[in-house]
């Protein structure tokens, strides 16, 4: 897959750019191959680029002084992150780690700010993205404290299929049960039990190498 095709699939925001804007974005993007388990970004570092996942799966976490880690979300292909820190010009507040071999794209700060200055559609995209991410994180705080393990699993899966944040996924996502366990902080066995419950409820279909969502709204309501 060439870069233009990758952007069409996993950077939907480029579809509304002018030809000149698209040409600069495509020329300024830096692609990086990240092995499984390797860092994509590190907490505390200067933020000099907007990061998108073109292939693979990236986990966003933060660790406290006691070593305990808090998982924020997983970012599948089509997801872009780091715009908040770019806008606020602050150090990165979380770690981003590749859960499997991944390909990420980095759009330099200068190009990101150039788009902010010159593209109304890009600004509108960022507003929608920031609002959706805020809603997602508020929901995660709520279900982490109020829901049981199967319902938490359902919400985590629903987050990965968010059509606004990750528009390239469709109804199927290539993800293993072990990877889901790393996102929700549960064992593979516990994830398997939860997926069986969600299948019985008619919400997902577990397939070879991944899963298919049958009822996204049902996942968001499950157990709550």
Question: How big is the CA angle at 76 (ends 60 and 56), to the nearest 5 degrees?
Answer: 100
| C-alpha–C-alpha distance, residues 204 and 212, integer Å | 6
Alpha carbon distance 79, 50 (integer Å): 11
**How far is Cα 192 from Cα 135, in angstroms, rounded to an integer?**
28
Which residues in the chain come in under a pLDDT of 50?
none
The helix, strand and coil proportions of the chain, stated in percent and rounded to the nearest 5, come to: 45, 25, 30
| Burial grade of 221 (CB within 10 A; 0-12, 13-18, 19 or more) | middle
> What pLDDT digit, counting tens, does each position of 30-64 carry?
999 999 999 999 999 999 999 999 999 999 988 76
Cβ-contact 202, 216 below 8 angstroms: no
What is the structure's pLDDT at 147? 80
Which residues are CB-contacts of 32 (< 8 A; sequence separation ≥ 6)? Answer: 40, 103, 104, 105, 106
Q: In what helix (H) or strand (E) does residue 84 lie, and over which residues does it extend?
A: helix 83-88
DSSP 208: T
Which one, of 134, 62, 140, lies nearest residue 96 by Cα? Answer: 62
Tokens at residue 65, please?
């002084």
Task: Characterise 89 by phi-psi region: left (phi > 0), alpha (psi -120 to 50), beta (else).
Answer: left
pLDDT value at residue 138? 81
């Amino acid at each position: 897959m060439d870069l233009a095709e990758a952007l069409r699939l996993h950077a939907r925001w480029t579809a509304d750019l002018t030809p000149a804007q698209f040409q600069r974005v495509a020329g300024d993007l830096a692609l990086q191959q990240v092995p499984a388990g390797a860092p994509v970004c590190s907490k505390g570092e200067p933020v000099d680029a907007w990061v998108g996942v073109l292939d693979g799966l990236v986990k966003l976490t933060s660790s406290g002084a006691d070593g305990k880690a808090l998982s924020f979300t997983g970012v599948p292909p089509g997801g872009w992150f780091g715009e908040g820190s770019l806008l606020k010009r602050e150090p990165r507040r979380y770690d981003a780690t590749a859960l499997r071999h991944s390909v990420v794209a980095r759009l330099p700060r200068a190009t990101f700010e150039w788009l902010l200055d010159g593209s109304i559609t890009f600004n509108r995209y960022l507003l929608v993205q920031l609002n959706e991410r805020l809603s997602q994180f508020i929901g995660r705080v709520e279900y982490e404290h109020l829901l049981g393990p199967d319902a938490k699993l359902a919400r985590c899966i629903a987050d990965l299929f968010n059509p606004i944040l990750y528009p390239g996924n469709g109804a199927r996502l290539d993800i293993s049960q072990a990877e889901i366990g790393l996102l929700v902080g549960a064992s593979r066995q516990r994830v398997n039990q939860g997926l069986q419950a969600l299948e019985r409820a008619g919400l997902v279909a577990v397939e070879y190498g991944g899963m298919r969502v049958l009822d996204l709204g049902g996942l968001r309501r499950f157990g709550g």
